[in-house]
Amino acid sequence: MGLEVAANRGATPKAEILAGSPLAIRGMTVSYGQKPVVFSVDMTVAEGSMTAIIGPNGAGKSTLLKAALGIVQPLAGEALVFGKPLRSARHRIAYVPQRASVDWDFPTRVIDVVLMGLYRELGLLRRLRPHHLEKARACLKRVGMTDFADRQIGQLSGGQQQRVFLARALAQEADLYLLDEPFAGVDAATEKAIIDVLKSLRSDGKTVVAVHHDLTTVRSYFDRVFLINTRKMAEGAVDEAFTSENLNQTYGGRLATGQIDQLELAAG
Amino acid sequence: MSGEEFVPLSLTPMLIGVLAAVACALPGNFLVLRKQALIGDAISHVVLPGIVVAFLLTGMVAAAPMMLGAAGAALVSVVMIEAIRRLGNIEPGAAMGLTFTTLFATGVLLLEQSDTSTVHLDVEHALYGNLESLIWLDAIGWGSLLDPVALAGLPPELGRVVIALLGVCAFLWLFWRPLVLSTFDESFAQAMGVATNRLGVALVMVAALAAVAAFDAVGSIIVIAMFICPPSAARLMTNRLEHQVAWSVVFAVLSAVLGYVFAGYGPLWLGFGNAVSAAGMIATVSGVILAFTACFAPHRHRSGAPAV
């Protein structure tokens, strides 16, 4: 599992870690206007792990993901995907943006959105074949949305929309899944469906990285955490890095002590 | 209406009106969905001084210099907007409004001061188009469609708008998937490696191509109606983009044909003596269609993204 992989790697030279890591970020610095949002951040994602990116609002969590994907241009720094520059490794990444970042009134059906995940396979003009549709339907089935294939996307609930986004990412058949707040504003059934899919991806040897808000579920969902508040605050296995001390530092005392005590209790 | 009267006097203006409307409506679908509909307005304003300057420099109304002039004016407008925004510390929307109206006004002044009496280029035509004058004098009836001599006398505007429409269709056909992808979900498209910025610029360039071609037919101001009204009405008819594009073509054709006929014969039916501007009537019809769909179309009630 992810933890053992990470532990084993502890002994290997640094260059080798970077080469083998699904996502290795070095010196990433991003600024919107004058203010740096992400400052000189290093991150090494362990293969086969599930990592939660945690930090307060505006701490640069989403921006870090976007910079790694080349969606925002960093001032400095680079991201290596399976040891290669982004350009030659895009096909190995699936990305789930924040649900609120798109206009759900867009005139399209659920199945069409999932088919967008096949863009790299289809290219500009390749014909859509029955097996493409079958693949898209299989992805919808994995997130429990089979019956909604022909619905207009605006008719879905927030949780259903999030599942469609996940199905689109599944259609990409990637090795590294980057998700931006996949549990934001979804119902309990959807949260369960999504975490089940993510865990099954991990058991297939895939790597999952998600921006995550709910500190109470970190321990049960993820095996690694990455704490960020513009700078990297901590990184490592949940047991080692998800500590009250690190959380206090990351949130700058904005977490009530009661909350942290609860998290400690949850840890048992 | 007999062929001897219809073919020389009405066939080509109607055809040009239809093709221009379709050429604008097609990219308009994407502009409206990207919430960039006013870019069509902006283009139609900036195009005027560009075309006038191109005419003053070359002395002719031809497609290539007009396109170059329009592209040059677009470039100038981008620089002006940035300069006003930074030097004047004015918010972007106001800087854009200022730039486009100023450039348009400059175009009007240039037109009034220059000798354009020999060609169809004056303030009135720039605003309302000159659809009615795009007649085919060499034609004597339907048979002329097969007569090479008569065909050589077709108004050059027809060729221009056909080329623009073909260009628009080729662009949409080739880049349909990345266009849809980047319009719906830009960051996902970028993560997939789509060059969304370049694609966005290309879309605006294609819209400009349609605007320049339509400038002849429906005039600078009314181009905006063709960019916005047919796609917006089409959106209310369906929840699928492919169908929306098809509906927008239907509405564009309907606006052009009905608008042309009503402009020519409507006042007579109502007992008035003179015909009215065809371009004005085309835009009016497209607006009426939009109003009609807003009241009766099947998908006018949309839920958006409901909260959980």
pLDDT tens across A204-259, in order? 999 999 999 899 999 999 999 999 999 999 999 999 999 989 999 998 876 655 56
Alpha-carbon distance B286 to B214, whole Å? 15
For residue A120, which residues of chain B lie inside 8 Å, CB to CB?
192-193
Nearest to A238 by CA among A206, A258, A212: A212
pLDDT tens across B209-255, in order? 888 888 766 777 678 889 999 999 999 999 999 999 999 999 999 99
Kindly give the pairing relationship between strand A50-54 and strand A207-211. Answer: parallel
A152 DSSP 8-state letter: B
Domains held by chain A: number: 1
Kindly give the pairing relationship between strand A224-229 and strand A50-54. Answer: parallel
Q: Which domain holds residue A141?
A: 2-267
Task: Report the sign of the C-alpha dihedral through residues B73, B79, B83, B84, in that order.
Answer: positive
A39 in Cβ contact with A229 (< 8 Å): no
Q: Mark yes or no for CB contact B308/A159 under 8 Å.
A: yes
Is the Cβ of B307 closer than 8 Å to some Cβ of chain A?
yes
A223 in Cβ contact with A50 (< 8 Å): yes
Q: What residues in chain B have per-residue pLDDT under 70?
A: 1-2, 61, 63, 115-121, 216-217, 221, 301-308
Q: How many CB atoms lie within 10 A of CB A240?
A: 13
pLDDT tens across A99-121, in order? 999 999 999 999 999 999 999 99
- How many interface pairs between A and B have CB atoms less than 8 angstroms apart? 96
Q: What are the residue ranges spanned by the domains of chain B? A: 3-220
pLDDT of A14 reads 56
Q: How many CB atoms lie within 10 A of CB B300?
A: 12
CATH of the domain at A195: 3.40.50.300
Kindly give the pairing relationship between strand A231-237 and strand A224-229. Answer: antiparallel
Which residues of chain A have a Cβ shorter than 8 Å from any chain B Cβ? 66, 69-71, 87, 90, 93, 95, 97, 100-109, 112-113, 116, 119-120, 122-125, 152, 154-159, 161, 168, 185-187
CA atoms within 13 A on the CB side of A39: 10
pLDDT of A102 reads 93
Q: Mark yes or no for CB contact A119/B303 under 8 Å.
A: no
* Residue, of A266 and B5, whose pLDDT is higher: B5
How far A1 CA lies from chain B's nearest CA (Å)? 28
Alpha-carbon distance B42 to A155, whole Å? 34
Burial class (CB in 10 A: 0-12, 13-18, 19+), B251: buried
The amino acid that residue A44 corresponds to is: T
- Measured between CB atoms, which of B175, B187, B190 is closest to A124? B175
Q: Which of residues 131-170 of B touch A (CB under 8 A)?
A: none
Q: Mark yes or no for CB contact A69/B194 under 8 Å.
A: no
Task: Report the sign of the C-alpha dihedral through residues A204, A209, A213, A215, in that order.
Answer: positive
E strands along A65-191, which residues?
76-81, 84-85, 93-96, 176-180
pLDDT tens across A250-259, in order? 988 766 555 6
Lookup result for tokens 């030279």: A13
pLDDT of A165 reads 97
pLDDT of A9 reads 43
pLDDT of B169 reads 97
Alpha-carbon distance B262 to B281, whole Å? 7
Mutate which of A92, A95, A128 to disrupt the B interface (most B C-beta within 10 Å)?
Answer: A95
How far B100 CA lies from chain A's nearest CA (Å)? 27
B171 in Cβ contact with B202 (< 8 Å): yes
Q: What are phi and psi of A95, to 5 degrees?
A: -125, 135
The yes-or-no verdict on residue A267 having pLDDT over 70 is no
A17 in Cβ contact with A61 (< 8 Å): no
- Measured between CB atoms, which of B176, B241, B304 is closest to A154? B304
Q: Which two tokens stand for residue B121?
A: 């280029």
Q: Which residue of B has its CA nearest to A110?
A: B240
A95 DSSP 8-state letter: E
Report the b/e string of B52-79 with b at 16+ CB within 10 A.
bbbbbeeeebebebbbbbbbebbebbee
Nearest to B9 by CA among B284, B279, B283, B260: B260
Nearest to B1 by CA among B132, B142, B103: B142
What percentage of chain B carries pLDDT values higher than 70? 93
Of A9-18, A30-39, A72-81, B30-39, the one with minimum mean pLDDT is A9-18
Query: If you count DSSP H runs as helices and E runs as strands, how many of each does chain A have, helices first?
Result: 12, 10
Cα B284–B285–B291 angle (5° rounding)? 90
Task: Please name every residue paired with A52 in a beta bridge, in sequence order, or none if there are none.
Answer: A210, A225
Query: If you count DSSP H runs as helices and E runs as strands, how many of each does chain B have, helices first?
Result: 12, 0
pLDDT tens across A55-98, in order? 998 899 999 999 999 999 999 999 999 999 999 999 999 999 99
For residue B176, which residues of chain A lie inside 8 Å, CB to CB?
124
Task: Report the sign of the C-alpha dihedral through residues A66, A84, A49, A247, in that order.
Answer: negative
Q: Domain B3-220, CATH 1.10.3470.10 — does that match?
A: yes
The yes-or-no verdict on residue A169 having pLDDT over 70 is yes
For residue B293, which residues of chain A lie inside 8 Å, CB to CB?
none
pLDDT of A266 reads 57
B93 in Cβ contact with B41 (< 8 Å): no
- Residue A268's pLDDT band, with cuts at 50, 70 and 90, is very low
Say whether pTM exceeds 0.90: no
Q: Mark yes or no for CB contact A158/B307 under 8 Å.
A: yes
pLDDT of A260 reads 62
For residue A105, which residues of chain B lie inside 8 Å, CB to CB?
302, 304-305
The yes-or-no verdict on residue A195 having pLDDT over 70 is yes
B82 in Cβ contact with B75 (< 8 Å): no
